[in-house]
Structure 1
Amino acid sequence: MPSRSLNNCLAPAKLNLFLHVIGRRADGYHLLQTVFQLLDHGDLLHFETRDDGLICRATEVPGVDAESDLIVRAARLLQSTLPQGRRPGANIAIEKRLPMGGGLGGGSSDAATTLLALNHLWQAGLTRQELMELGLQLGADVPFFIFGKNAFAGGVGEELSEVNTPDGWYVVIEPGVSVPTPVIFSAKELTRDTKPVRIMDFSNAPTSFGKNDLQDVAAKLFPDVAEAIIWLEQYGAARMTGSGACVFCYFAHEPDADTVLKAVPARWKAWKARALKQHPLAHI
């Protein structure tokens, strides 16, 4: 069977426009409410099928061995759903542009893009819902990227409802530190009792609604995060995404984002991205 390929597949970053911790389950998982926003910036993945059943990561990723990489794990998980005698393999290359521990969902987005692309290339035939259920085995954010639209999320992040978010641009600062999610969620000072909200509450003030309950904890533990927030607050409602470390601010017009981007101190990496309405692979 001739090989098939999909190249330049964007695994988009996400922002948490707000993130509230409203409780904790008996198993220790936190109950959250958030709005996920897709961006037109992220990692780029390239896929080529192979007929020997091997899953090969063709790119070295510093600090991540192939066996534990979510890309490889996602491919193998999808492969396991196919009949024993018809399990193609894949070569997967990645251009890593999103930082690890940045709160941008890079690993989860990579896994989701892998599931979407290989479901198409392998003609596996899984529905979007079935892919979301598979993705949840890999991480709480993976179903969102497979869902493929901006979403109001509840539960541990897997209860998703489509939500309208404003067009515009985001300036994102990478403070240069990696924030381990377990460290933030296990912090004693983290509040876990924010009052639940409704989609309508967010829709009335989408660019300034709520807060990130994890931000104070991360800013205290990682001073670089606090410095980036303080600097970006000069220009608007700056906040941290996810459990950190990246910090963002919304701008309705691209020239305004460009002006701020030029002013970012050289010690930080920064970039701008347009708000997306849907995942780039939503059509497959």
Structure 2
Amino acid sequence: MIYTWPSPAKINLFLYVTGIRSDGYHYIQSLFQFLNYGDTLKIIPNKTGNIELFTEKKLFLKKTNTIIEAAKLLKSKALYYEKTNCTTLGAKIFLNKKIPIGSGLGGGSSNAATVLVVLNKLWRTKFTLQELAKFSLNIGSDIPAFIMGKTSIIEGIGEILHPIEREEKWYLIVYPEIHVLTKNIFSSSLLKSKTQKKPIQLLLTSPFSNDFENIVSNKFKTIKKLLSILSLYAPTRMTGTGSCVFAEFNDKTSAQKIFSLLPKNMKGFIAKSVNTSPLHHVFYKQNKHIFN
């Protein structure tokens, strides 16, 4: 039986804020692209009734995060909808963290999605992916896209997904070691104007940009400098609300060449984009025989 599962990173190839709801949630349009890079989660189900999370050093984490929230949410929904009558559903979860926190790469949302998808099978709670995606909005707006597992244009507050096929590229992702809190950026007084909502075809044929890039780069000069340097060599943008900056290349060699030109202490990695989430690739390839 397989216990270790991918929890991939993502980048936003574009990100626009098109409105705001009365409850404070923002309407967006974004192109959500998976990378063949990310965290891994070892998930071992049990009948203790407890959800326990450990780091890669096997240290028990007591604080609540998206992983714990996701497992508890699935259990509560399973009991509510009578998918199970078992209150002893439990799991030990071991996190091997590679995606930086506060980087705009979606680490916390990806972790939650992997937990929901995998435990749904291991616990045999039999929710559909669509049902899991709907539940997951209680935790974070990026999670539905990770659950559905396809390159998509995202609309609404994250619940409307339009899967697309896109040419797979190579990306140099640079992390400036700045932790950006998404909620602070979304609530920024500088986010005054709204981008007009566009039809999907126009979104894909218009130049890509990120409505948060100027706000964040003006606040963090290191990010502004990174954008300036990398844009000399390739199309460059910030992902999400930051702090990671990515440059797009047609091949791995070109990405490596530019990476080698950056200061040696600059943290980053090179990854290929994929149209199907690595989690889905593993899950559906082996799902026929790993749970029996």
TM norm structure 1: 0.92
Q: Is the CA contact (8 Å cut-off) linking 1:79 and 1:87 kept in structure 2?
A: no
Structural mapping, 1:168-183, within 5 Å? 168-183=169-184
Letter in 1 for 2:27: L
Q: Distance in 1 between matches of 2:25 and 2:160?
A: 14
Cα deviations by residue, 1:51-83 (Å, 9 ceiling, x for unpaired)? 21211112279xx95342111111111112143
Q: Distance in 1 between matches of 2:3 and 2:151?
A: 24
Moved more, 32-41 or 187-196: 187-196
SS of the equivalent of 1:275 reads strand
Map of 2:290 onto structure 1? none
Map of 1:46 onto structure 2? 42
Q: Distance in 1 between matches of 2:205 and 2:255?
A: 23
Map of 1:142 onto structure 2? 143
Corresponding residue pairs, total: 275
Q: Is the CA contact (8 Å cut-off) linking 1:5 and 1:48 kept in structure 2?
A: no
- Note if 1:211 corresponds to 2:212: no
Q: Is the CA contact (8 Å cut-off) linking 1:173 and 1:269 kept in structure 2?
A: yes
Q: Distance in 1 between matches of 2:168 and 2:72?
A: 36
Q: Answer 1 or 2: which has greater helix percent.
A: 2
Map of 2:252 onto structure 1? 254
Instruction: Please report how far the alpha carbon of residue 257 of structure 1 lies from its aligned counterpart in structure 2 after TM superposition.
Output: 1.0
Map of 2:261 onto structure 1? 263
- Note if 1:75 corresponds to 2:75: no
Q: Is the CA contact (8 Å cut-off) linking 1:264 and 1:270 kept in structure 2?
A: no
Map of 1:29 onto structure 2? 25
SS of the equivalent of 2:171 reads strand
Q: Is the CA contact (8 Å cut-off) linking 2:43 and 2:93 kept in structure 1?
A: yes
SS of the equivalent of 1:97 reads coil
Instruction: Please report how far the alpha carbon of residue 177 of structure 1 lies from its aligned counterpart in structure 2 after TM superposition.
Output: 0.4
Q: Distance in 1 between matches of 2:145 and 2:65?
A: 19
SS of the equivalent of 2:279 reads coil
Gaps of 5+ in 1: none
Q: Is the CA contact (8 Å cut-off) linking 1:149 and 1:277 kept in structure 2?
A: yes
Structural mapping, 1:150-229, within 5 Å? 150-204=151-205, 209-229=207-227
SS of the equivalent of 1:242 reads coil
Instruction: Please report how far the alpha carbon of residue 267 of structure 1 lies from its aligned counterpart in structure 2 after TM superposition.
Output: 3.2
Instruction: Please report how far the alpha carbon of residue 47 of structure 1 lies from its aligned counterpart in structure 2 after TM superposition.
Output: 0.8
Query: How large is the Cα RMSD of the aligned pairs?
Result: 1.8
SS of the equivalent of 2:144 reads helix
Instruction: Please report how far the alpha carbon of residue 86 of structure 1 lies from its aligned counterpart in structure 2 after TM superposition.
Output: 5.2
Letter in 1 for 2:119: L
Map of 2:132 onto structure 1? 131
Instruction: Please report how far the alpha carbon of residue 5 of structure 1 lies from its aligned counterpart in structure 2 after TM superposition.
Output: 4.9
Change in 2 beyond 3 A, CA 1:164/1:202? farther
TM norm structure 2: 0.89
